[in-house]
Amino acid sequence: MSKSHISVKRHQQITEQSRSRYCQSQQHIIGILLTADHIISESLGGMTTLENLCLACWDCNLIKGNRITAIEPQTGITVRLFHPNRSRRNIFVGAMMGYTSLA
């Protein structure tokens, strides 16, 4: 969860995305307000910038927590998690559940 204030303008820019950037759930379908997520958490030095913020459902936000890496189950190698503003492939959900490759 965010420790710093997110301005109204920045929050509007994020909510224009209208869906969780990790699992792609749309707010109007799940019926629960989506949250602003720091992709790289503030506890790891992530800034409150548009590049580092995305819209996320509560489940994705809680599952991800402050992690930016995970252990790839098939190889045991630590790999970087999906970055919604930099990566095109969304492998977050499967990777966090431990049953898909990040490669």
The smaller minimum CB distance to Zn ion, of residues 6 and 58, is found at 58
Q: Is 22 in the site for Zn ion (CB under 5 A)?
A: yes
Residue 6 CB, shortest distance to Zn ion, in Å, is 18
By CB under 5 A, tell whether 41 contacts Zn ion.
no
If the CB atoms of residues 26 and 75 are measured against Zn ion, the closer one turns out to be 26
Q: Which is nearer to Zn ion, 22 or 82 (CB)?
A: 22
> H/E/C letters for each residue in 16-58?
CCCECCCCCCEHHHHCCCCEEEECCCHHHCCCCCHHHEEEECH
Cβ proximity of 22 and 90 under 8 Å? yes
